[in-house]
């Protein structure tokens, strides 16, 4: 039973074909530079066959044709015909207040996703292009499912999601905290409960998704109580190139002083801030760690700030839940930077966190496990995330419902 998982961006399309009988990835790949010259298509199978080519892709339908051809190709293919794909699951970033769970895609659903374009101008229009391209290539008979980044956070109470601005803006424009990386927080929190041998409703968990984009979520009794990302994925703490939260006056001050347009200011906050902006070195934590080792002062500051802000949010969320049973690190940085994890854990001794440096050093490159010792009152885990698998599982369960 094969499910195709699609993550369509404005100029890229990532895919994974997952065999749901054992949840293994059969093939995966990416189309890059869609709509530009010198597009890049690469495809890999689980048994090591590969195809990579430079080819112009006029639009997402063009890109989807390449995916289809690769999947059924005589050399690098993994299925005989498209009939072997039972359903397609799409990642959709913004589900607004309308979508609290994954849904079968109908014309009404496409229209609803489109109506949220204003809240996710870079993402939702691209997802719709991906859905349309899929319909063009696979036909409309193959069920398609939308899985929303925001859905897992839909249990947040109003005290967490209403911003401290006039209420009319919430009513007029639905301006509120939505939260993102929901599929990742869902996957790792459920896996954490499994590892602890407890059900979600017995646990208070703080999940730290630390990647290029980062967010931290407080999950109590299986429900999201609060999360760091807000109306957009810019809120929270410092990321690769994004600022995270700051005094709103900083924005108006810089715009006035430098005579910037809203787009220019948006670029500064989204693309030139965070680790890159503070260090002046790179947005990549690996480069920062290297520069720290060479004594680069601004890289040291950037790393100290990152650790400090993570510690601050963990403390805030532990307070908000009146305790915490487990903390999870995931995503590129969370799964691989033993240094950042160790520094964070050292500042959490007041919570009863006793880290095990040996275990911490071992949990890299996709390894899953505990990094605290047996006498730690809070258990800290590294759990590799798998957002594609969440999308495939949700797609499978919706398929079951409609059949």
Q: Which residues are catalytic?
A: 149
Query: What's the number of CA atoms in the CB half-sphere (13 Å) around residue 332?
Result: 10
Adjacent-strand bridge partners of 40: 32, 54
Nearer to ligand AMP, 286 or 297 (CB): 286
Q: How far is the CB of 335 from ligand AMP (least distance, A)?
A: 7
The distance in angstroms from the start CA to the end CA of the chain is: 14
Residue 179 engages ligand AMP in binding (rule: CB under 6 A): no
Q: What angle do CA 230, 231, 237 make, to 5 degrees?
A: 30
Contact yes or no for 209/153 (Cβ under 8 A): no
Phi-psi region for residue 21, left (φ > 0), alpha (ψ -120 to 50) or beta?
alpha
Binds ligand AMP (CB under 6 A): choice among 32, 65, 73, 284? 284
Pick one of 193, 285, 363, 390: the residue that binds ligand AMP (CB under 6 A): 285
- How many residues bind ligand AMP (CB under 6 A)? The answer is 12
- Judged by beta carbon, residue 150 or residue 336, the one nearer ligand AMP is 336
Distance in angstroms (rounded) separating the CA atoms of residues 389 and 190: 13
Q: Is 211 in the site for ligand AMP (CB under 6 A)?
A: yes
CB of 382 to ligand AMP, least distance (A): 12
Pick between residue 62 and residue 336 the one whose CB is nearest to ligand AMP: 336
Q: Parallel, antiparallel, or unpaired: how do β-strands 24-32 and 13-19 relate?
A: antiparallel
Residue 286 as a binder of ligand AMP (CB under 6 A): the answer is: yes
Q: Does 58 bind ligand AMP (CB under 6 A)?
A: no
229 contacts ligand AMP (rule: CB under 6 A): no
- Can you spell out the DSSP letters for 333-351? HHHH-HHHHHHHHHTTGGG
Burial of 339 (0-12, 13-18, 19+ CB in 10 A): middle
368 binds ligand AMP (CB under 6 A): no
CB proximity list for 31: less than 8 A, separation 6 or greater = 12, 13, 14, 39, 40, 41, 57, 63, 66, 67
Based on the shown chain and the rule CB under 6 A, indicate whether residue 184 belongs to the binding site for ligand AMP.
Answer: no
Examine residue 333 and tell whether it contacts ligand AMP (CB under 6 A): yes
For position 336 contacting ligand AMP by CB under 6 A, the verdict is yes
367 is an interface residue for ligand AMP by CB under 6 A: no
Among the listed residues 240, 244, 277, 384, the single contact to ligand AMP using CB under 6 A: 240
Minimal distance in Å, beta carbon 275 to ligand AMP?
7
Question: Which segment (42-50, 172-180, 307-315, 329-337) binds ligand AMP by CB under 6 A?
Answer: 329-337
Q: Is 347 buried (19+), middle (13-18) or exposed (0-12) by CB count in 10 A? A: middle
The smaller minimum CB distance to ligand AMP, of residues 154 and 215, is found at 215
By beta-carbon proximity to ligand AMP, the closer residue of 31 and 333 is: 333
Residue 37 C-beta: closest distance to ligand AMP, Å: 26
DSSP assignment letter at 196: H
Sequence-distant (6+) residues with CB within 8 A of 333 are: 210, 211, 214, 285, 340
Q: Are 152 and 189 in contact (CB under 8 A)?
A: no
- Provide, rounded to whole angstroms, the least separation between the CB of residue 110 and ligand AMP: 28
- Minimum CB distance to ligand AMP, residue 285 (Å): 3
Question: Does residue 331 bind ligand AMP (CB under 6 A)?
Answer: yes
List, in order, residues 6 or more apart from 276 with CB less than 8 Å away: 240, 241, 282, 283
Q: Shortest approach of ligand AMP to residue 281 CB, angstroms? A: 12
The yes or no reply on residue 233 touching ligand AMP (CB under 6 A) is no
332 belongs to the binding site for ligand AMP (CB under 6 A): yes
- Are the beta carbons of 394 and 145 closer than 8 angstroms? yes
Residues that bind ligand AMP (CB under 6 A): 211-212, 240, 284-286, 289, 331-333, 336-337
């Amino acid at each position: 039973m094969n499910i195709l998982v699609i993550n369509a961006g404005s100029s890229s399309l990532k895919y994974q074909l997952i065999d749901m009988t054992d949840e293994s990835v059969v093939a995966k790949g990416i189309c890059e530079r869609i709509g530009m010259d010198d597009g890049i298509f690469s495809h890999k199978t689980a048994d090591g066959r590969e195809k990579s080519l430079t080819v112009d892709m006029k639009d997402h339908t063009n890109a989807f044709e390449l995916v289809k051809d690769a999947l059924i190709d005589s050399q690098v293919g993994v299925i005989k015909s498209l009939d072997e794909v039972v359903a397609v699951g799409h990642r959709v970033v913004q589900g607004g207040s309308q979508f609290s769970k994954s849904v079968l895609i109908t014309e009404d659903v496409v229209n609803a996703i489109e109506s949220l374009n204003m809240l996710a101008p870079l993402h939702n229009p691209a997802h719709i292009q991906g859905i349309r391209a899929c319909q063009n290539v696979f036909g409309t008979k193959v069920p398609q499912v939308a899985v929303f980044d925001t859905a897992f956070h839909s249990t947040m109470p109003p005290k967490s999601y209403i911003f401290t601005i006039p209420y009319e803006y919430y009513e007029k424009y639905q301006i509120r905290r939505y939260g993102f990386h929901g599929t990742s927080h869902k996957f790792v929190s459920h896996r954490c409960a499994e590892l602890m041998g407890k059900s979600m409703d017995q646990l208070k968990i703080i999940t730290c998704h630390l990647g290029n984009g980062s967010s931290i979520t407080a999950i109590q009794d299986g429900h999201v109580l609060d999360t760091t990302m807000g109306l957009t994925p810019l809120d929270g703490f410092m990321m690769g190139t994004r600022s995270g939260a700051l005094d709103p006056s900083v924005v108006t001050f810089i715009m006035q002083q430098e005579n910037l347009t809203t787009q220019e200011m948006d670029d500064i906050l989204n693309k030139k801030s965070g680790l890159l902006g503070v260090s002046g070195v790179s947005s990549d934590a690996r480069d920062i760690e290297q520069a720290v080792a060479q004594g680069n002062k601004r890289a040291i500051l950037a790393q100290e700030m990152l650790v400090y802000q993570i510690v601050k949010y963990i403390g805030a969320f532990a307070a908000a839940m009146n305790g915490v049973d487990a903390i999870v690190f995931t995503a590129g940085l969370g799964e691989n930077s033993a240094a950042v994890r160790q520094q964070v854990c050292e500042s959490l001794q007041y919570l009863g966190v006793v880290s095990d440096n040996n275990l911490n050093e071992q949990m890299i490159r996709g390894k899953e496990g505990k990094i605290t010792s047996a006498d730690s009152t809070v258990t800290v885990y590294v759990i590799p995330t798998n957002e594609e698998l969440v999308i495939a599982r949700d797609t499978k369960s919706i398929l079951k419902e409609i059949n």
